[in-house]
Amino acid sequence: MTGDEGGQQSAAARSNGVQSVRRTFELLELLAERGPLGLSGLAVGSGLPLTTIHRLVGTLLDLGYVREASPKQYVLGPRMIHLGERSARSLATWAMPHLTRLVDDLGETANLAMLEGDEIVYVAQVPSRHSMRMFTEVGRRVRPHCTAVGKALLAQMADEQVEAIVRRTGMPEHTPNTITQPDRLATELVNVRRQGYAIDDGEQEVGVRCVAVAVSDTATRIAISVSGPAPRMTTDLVRRAVPTLNRTAAALAADLAGAGSG
């Protein structure tokens, strides 16, 4: 075998390996967003051949990253929890300086949250320097329909994905202001897409107001928000907060992109 032939075979092997990794993560992301799914559902969602999906899912089952929820229906497995926890800690590290500047600029509590499965998880926070603090705490899980960060992230998704999440989670009422009807949520998300930000006006907790924007162009669905008591979260403060949140989201996305390329 000549040196050129050996180099070509090595390059081909690397190309096949990278393709397998890409396909594996496509399947994991499909299960995260739409699971449980069978092999045919994964084939439709990914466009991959059934033979390829069968091979990759079998490997993921053996490693514990996928499990069988019911006969021939697959969901993410328990080993993904570990990866999710590590990812959240990494996100928190990168986000803290940005959240700190939000508090310096706006004076209210700044939060970073991510969509994990069908739930919103708060992964980082810099509290307001006011004595009155918010309900939010790192690690708390909430449904997305009743929070500004949740609505900001749902607005980034296709309508059928939102409908599937709502069917699985329901829309329980937390306060008299909570949106509990799918059609009202759909209308709310249209407004969020149009204006570029989401508001929680006492929908998760009475007397608490929050404004949030999604962080675009990241591997994980994340959003940042500023929250505070309704008397302090005035219309004027929200108006000032939106461009500041957008600048912060862009800066955080750039930092995360740089971290991923390093």
Q: What is the mean pLDDT of residues 73-98?
A: 78
Q: Which of 77, 109, 142 is the last residue of a domain?
A: 77
Last residue of a domain, which of 61, 77, 93? 77
- My answer on whether 220 and 120 are in the same domain is yes
Task: Report the CATH number that the domain containing residue 57 is assigned in CATH.
Answer: 1.10.10.10
**What is the domain-level CATH number for residue 189?**
3.30.450.40
123 and 223 co-located in one domain: yes
* 153, 115: one domain: yes
15 and 96 housed in the same domain: no
Same domain? 53 vs 160: no
Q: For residues 106 and 30, which has the higher predicted lDDT (pLDDT)?
A: 106
Q: Let me know whether 111 and 241 are in one domain.
A: yes
Indicate if 45 and 120 belong to the same structural domain: no
Helices 79-106, 235-261: axis angle to 10 degrees equals 130
Q: What is the pLDDT of residues 14-59, one digit of tens each?
A: 455 578 888 898 888 888 777 788 999 999 989 999 999 999 999 9
**Shared-domain flag, residues 46 and 143:** no
Instruction: Give every CB contact of residue 215 below 8 A, 6+ residues apart in sequence.
Output: 222, 223, 224, 249, 252, 253, 256
Grouping H, G, I as helix, E, B as strand and the rest as coil, residue 73 is strand
Burial of 128: CB neighbours in 10 Å, binned 0-12, 13-18, 19+: buried
Between CA 114 and CA 150 the distance in angstroms is: 8
Question: Mean pLDDT for the chain?
Answer: 86
pLDDT in tens, 129-167: 887 655 677 878 899 999 999 999 999 999 999 999 999
State which residues form the domain around 67.
3-77
**Among 25, 53, 77, where does a domain finish?**
77
137, 215: one domain: yes
Number of domains in the chain: 2
pLDDT for the residue 9: 47
